[in-house]
Amino acid sequence: MALTELRVAGFGGQGVILAGMIIGKAASIFENGYATLTQSFGPEARGSACSAQLVLSDEPVLYPYITQPHILIAMSQDAYNKFATDVRPGGIVLIEEELVRVSEIPPGVKICGIPATRLAEQIGKRLVLNIVMVGFFGAVTKLIDREALRKAVADSVPPGTTEMNLQAFDRGYEYGLESRCAEQLPESLPVERGLEGQFAGSES
């Protein structure tokens, strides 16, 4: 896995941080790669802006903060408005298509949408929309192996909710495959030469 910067954003109560933790755990524990996670959120527990920033790599990550993400997962309009223009040209923006209206798009950035909240409600609980988004992310980007992501979901969600969350993940993944969005994306994400050396290197 080439060094990849990823931001997951939405509002408090959507499970933004958990989604980021699952992706990072899948990359670092279940695929034997490396990941860092930083997070930011408003003062309120729910309803305020919330985001998780990840750096994923197949080498140790020396700098944990993102500069210009390759991928944005936007689960609210505010998240899209605030962060979409930061995505580097050639990157990907994954949106909750019934909550986000697309406006300004950086040159060459691909937009892929999924009705994650509606799919989560069909499964039984709208709160699993974040897991639907994780599945969609896996199918569209193919950055992390599907089984690694499923294992990370099962390892991260509250006891008694594993089956429902795995259903949510599978539904999001299947939607991503069926959407044909992945077919329109480049085989690899754009990585600036020298960026890997700035953020990741060999162990000392």
Bin 114: left if φ > 0, else alpha if -120 < ψ < 50, else beta: beta
pLDDT at 109 > cutoff 60? yes
Q: Is residue 156 part of a domain?
A: yes
More confident residue, 194 or 173: 173
pLDDT of residue 204: 27
Q: Name the nearest CA neighbour of 80 among 9, 150, 32.
A: 9
Averaged pLDDT, 178-195:
57
Q: Is residue 117 part of a domain?
A: yes
Q: Is residue 160 part of a domain?
A: yes
pLDDT at 196 > cutoff 50? no
Angle at 153 between CA 150 and CA 157, to 5 degrees: 155
Looking at the structure of the chain, the number of domains it has is 1
Q: Is residue 142 part of a domain?
A: yes
Tell me the per-residue pLDDT of 16-70, one tens digit each, with 9 for 90 and over: 999 999 999 999 999 999 999 999 866 545 566 799 999 999 999 999 999 999 9
Tell me the per-residue pLDDT of 114-167, one tens digit each, with 9 for 90 and over: 999 999 999 989 999 999 999 999 999 999 999 999 999 999 999 999 999 999
pLDDT of residue 203: 32
What is the token pair recorded at 164?
Answer: 């429902």
Helices (H), the chain: 16-28, 77-83, 116-123, 129-141, 146-156, 162-178, 195-199
Domain that holds residue 166: 4-186
pLDDT of residue 192: 44
pLDDT of residue 198: 32
pLDDT of residue 1: 73
Q: What CATH number is associated with residue 127?
A: 3.40.920.10
106 pLDDT tier (thresholds 50, 70, 90): confident
Q: Is residue 107 part of a domain?
A: yes
